[in-house]
Amino acid sequence: MATSMCRLPLCKFIHVQRSQTAGHFRLFKIPSKCLHTRQVNRIMKNPTVLSSLTGSPCYSVYAVFAVRYNSSTTQSIPTDLPPGYIPDLPPLPDPTEFVQSLNALGEPTFRSLGLGGYFPSGILQHALEFLHVDIGLPWWGGIIAATIVVRCLMIPIAILTQRNAAKLHNHLPTMQRLQQRITNARISGNTIELARASNELMSYTKRNDIKLHRQFLTLFAQVPVFFSFFSGLRKMANLPVDSMKTGGILWFPDLTIPDPFYGLPLITFATMLAIIEIGAEGMKISEYGVLIRWIMRGLIVVVPIISSQFPAALCVYWCTSNFFSLAQVAVLKIPKVQDFCKIEQRIVHDPSSIKPYNKSFTEGFREAINNAALASKVTDRQRYNAMAFKKAGEGPIPKTYSYDPTKVEKEKVASKKSI
């Protein structure tokens, strides 16, 4: 094989010409940007023009093989393969791979679909696959069973919340009186009385083992569970898992799409409203403030609007969880169960000893605005007093008198008028 310069004028291409017995090729090496790039490209794209310039048929390839410019040796392309050589067929894939991607029901496994994993949502998906494939439950039954199992594991948290709710209800009149003292002291700006009332309230709650944050234990515990079910079921529905398209029941046979009759969203709304009204997750809604009560009710109104866009599988979980909460609070109200769980019996208070909460939304909102305005005034007064105290400590010492200078000035003015 020989190397030579390109025949085009002012061109510094180097081409490698093979013998005609081995085939006709022209391998061009481009060392730098040429001034007549367009012309070279046009020639190399046209085999007829390129053959007329080189004198033999050729095919052009850009920079396929590197050429050493400081070497005098020639290069050769191996031609060990005989003419008409056909390579062997690649080996067929192992049929066991296809068998392993199907479960006992002949459906694709979650692992082959990209589901599962070690995150909470992935563990939940493996549990649902176990209930559906190994136990034989339909998808709607597997979702209900998984929800009940998870909620049963959370029963100790619910018992702790109900204990605290019963204590808070029984000591509500005393706590309201202390809170009213704190409010009055804050409005009047009496910091000493405010500190005294706050200390009494703190000591009272500590002495009776009342902790307000326990009222939200069940809510905080259900948040990660809800998001795990939400993420896991939504991925299964969006994929979708083909068997879930027929895994429903009654009016929602397809679990991968929203409920077409809006039955599940309405059931979810009704059960959530019942939960907050009877206090299934803690205190009754009537024991909260007016503003908080109406905010909670307003948020629940949005539930059917949002849940109507969710897959039916997620609504099945939500409804099951709500029904479990209602059944749980009904069981925990049984006296023998309360004694076993060490839950205090709720005292029926005299209505006159409890601050009334049966106000309308307008009255409650107006009261909240007034309380906020009073709190703002108290804060401004405290800030002004702090500034005056700082100024008195850092500023110049004011001039003082052993007598009342204003009276002296008045006497001087009166004497001048008499003259």
Q: Do 51 and 126 have their domain in common?
A: no
Q: Do 16 and 128 have their domain in common?
A: no
pLDDT digits (tens, 9 = 90+) for 203-262: 888 888 887 777 777 778 888 888 889 888 888 888 888 888 888 888 888 888 888 888
**Average pLDDT over the chain, rounded to an integer:** 74
Instruction: Give the domain range for residue 53.
Output: 2-62
Q: Do 126 and 43 have their domain in common?
A: no
DSSP letter at 181 equals H
- Alpha carbon distances (Å) from 294 to 86, 269, 289, 298: 80, 16, 9, 6
Which residue is listed with tokens 């995150």? 119
Q: Do 148 and 235 have their domain in common?
A: yes
Phi and psi angles of residue 92, each rounded to the nearest 5 degrees, phi first: -70, 150
The reported pTM is 0.60
Q: Do 56 and 124 have their domain in common?
A: no
Higher-confidence position of 404 and 417: 404
Q: Do 136 and 256 have their domain in common?
A: yes
Closest CA relative to residue 372, chosen from 142, 105, 186, 174: 186
Cβ-based neighbours of 268, under 8 Å, separated by 6 or more = 303, 304, 307, 315, 318, 319, 322
Higher-confidence position of 81 and 31: 81
- Alpha carbon distances (Å) from 83 to 80, 86, 160: 9, 9, 85
Which residues on adjacent β-strands are paired with residue 249? Answer: 252
pLDDT digits (tens, 9 = 90+) for 320-362: 999 998 898 888 888 888 888 888 887 777 666 555 555 555 6
Which of 14, 38, 62 is the last residue before a domain boundary?
Answer: 62
Q: Do 348 and 257 have their domain in common?
A: yes
Q: Do 58 and 129 have their domain in common?
A: no
pLDDT (0 to 100) of residue 3 = 47
Question: Do 59 and 26 form a contact (C-beta atoms < 8 A)?
Answer: yes
Q: Do 130 and 234 have their domain in common?
A: yes
pLDDT digits (tens, 9 = 90+) for 360-408: 556 666 766 777 777 777 777 778 888 888 887 777 777 777 777 777 7
Q: Is residue 287 part of a domain?
A: yes
Q: Is residue 196 part of a domain?
A: no
- Window from 109-123, 263-277, 304-318 with minimum mean pLDDT: 109-123
Closest CA relative to residue 236, chosen from 251, 247, 224: 247
Token duo for residue 394: 């850092």
CA 400 to chain centre: 66
Q: Is residue 21 part of a domain?
A: yes
Amino acid at 342: K
Q: Do 45 and 124 have their domain in common?
A: no
Which of 330, 353, 376 is the last residue before a domain boundary?
Answer: 353
Q: Do 135 and 14 have their domain in common?
A: no
Does 180 have pLDDT greater than 80? yes
Q: Is residue 165 part of a domain?
A: no
Q: Is residue 179 part of a domain?
A: no
Report how many domains make up the chain.
2
Question: Do 311 and 258 form a contact (C-beta atoms < 8 A)?
Answer: yes
Q: Is residue 237 part of a domain?
A: yes
Q: Do 30 and 149 have their domain in common?
A: no
Which residues on adjacent β-strands are paired with residue 252? Answer: 249
Q: Is residue 14 part of a domain?
A: yes
* Residue 44 pLDDT level (bands cut at 50, 70, 90): low
Which of 13, 47, 62 is the last residue before a domain boundary?
Answer: 62
- Window from 6-20, 139-153, 385-399 with minimum mean pLDDT: 6-20
Q: Is residue 252 part of a domain?
A: yes
pLDDT digits (tens, 9 = 90+) for 47-78: 554 455 455 444 444 444 444 555 565 655 55
- Window from 144-153, 301-310, 350-359 with minimum mean pLDDT: 350-359
